Structures are given as C-alpha cells and as structure tokens.
A and B are shown apart, each in its own frame.
Chain A
Amino acid sequence: GAVVSQHPSRVICKSGTSVKIECRSLDFQATTMFWYRQFPKQSLMLMATSNEGSKATYEQGVEKDKFLINHASLTLSTLTVTSAHPEDSSFYICSASPLKTGGDTEAFFGQGTRLTVV
C-alpha cells in the first residue's frame, strides 16, 4: 500500500512552546490530508481537513489559531501546535488519500506523533 510518513514520532516540549508535526505522502500525491487526534482507548477525532493550496477546514471546537495547518504541496502537510499546554498532550495522526479518478478512496495513515507537553 501507499506510504505516509509522519515526523516526529515522539516529542516532548515545554509548556508555551510550539511544535511542528510533518505528514508526507512518500509515493503518491494527495490534494487532501486529514489530521486526527486520538485519546487513550478512544477512536480518532478529526481535527481538520488540509487542502493543498487553500485554507484548512477545521472541525467544530478545534481552535484554528492554536492548531495551524499548512498544506504547501501535494505531498506535505504540517500541523503546528502553538503555545502548547499540558492538555494538548495527545497522539496526533495524519492520513492522506491518493489522487485517483474513478472513486477509489483508501486512506493511509502516518505512524502518529506522541506529543507530551510538560
């Protein structure tokens, strides 16, 4: 299957600092990438939809000024957690779907980023 690389896999930062997480599709192009947050023993919660060349679409309750998303190319989207606080500690996962005609729409996930804010 297609490969989505997410970096870093684990990061610890101090409260008040910003952290950038990268999501790359390695062997395909994706106009749309999704960013999720996952709490322990819970499913993925969609945070925002990242569209190449345009502003991201945020889900209700997700602060767009806190979670900055940049989708600068067809293979890269970044999520920046600004002024991080301990309650932002979580597992962040991105996914991307290959550009295809005809309707297929598998989503492939990155390996996730464990963020710990101390």
Chain B
Amino acid sequence: QKEVEQDPGPLSVPEGAIVSLNCTYSNSAFQYFMWYRQYSRKGPELLMYTYSSGNKEDGRFTAQVDKSSKYISLFIRDSQPSDSATYLCAMSANTGNQFYFGTGTSLTVIP
C-alpha cells in the first residue's frame, strides 16, 4: 500500500466552480500536511501548510485535515483559469523527515 494516495484526475471544472482535492494516507505518524501547486515544467510551489488536524484558510484556498480518517482536502473557491495546474499533497511525520507525496491531481479550469 502506498503511503499517500491521491486521485490523479484529470479534473476539469468551469471557471467559478468550487474544487475539492483529496488525499488519503496510511501512516498515523504523519503530523505535517502540505499542498503544492505545480505548473508544467516548474518546481512545486507551497500553497498551504497545516500541522495536525483542523482547517486553515488562505484567500480562496482552504485546507482540511482529518487525522482520525487519515484524509486531507484542499478546497479552491471561485476557481480561475490560472488555477490550472497539478496539485500535490505531501506529508511528513517529524521535522526534517522525508516528505511523502501523492501522485498529484491535474486540474483544468475552463474559462
């Protein structure tokens, strides 16, 4: 079983839609959860970072962590064409430990 599972998509939505991206994981030791956005041929860009369970909001982005279900989500409100990218979830158990990545979900927002 992979450490982190993420639906690769592709996901296509109209502009203005709410997008929900999800990852599940198997290692209960994970405490740090991150979402990255990666444009084609670029390095991943950190979008959201969450420690332990709970919600975190930043502009149009909301990250949720449910440690009891081993499930994390990223919501994008009022999606824009510029949000079209691959979104990677990542998680780690402790400071300095390696990060485990999902396979990434390809998102296209259609104008």
Contact = CB atoms under 8 A, between A and B. Distances in A.
B103 A109 contact: no
Interface residues on B, range: 20 to 34
B43 A111 contact: yes
Contacts, number: 66
Which DSSP category, helix, strand, loop or mixed, fits chain A's interface?
Answer: loop
A107 B90 contact: yes
B69 interface: no
Interface string A86-118: 000001010101001001111111111010000
Contact of A105 (B32, B36, B42, B104): B32
A112 B43 contact: yes
A43 B102 contact: yes
Interface in B24-68: 31-32, 34, 36, 41-46, 49, 51
A25 interface: no
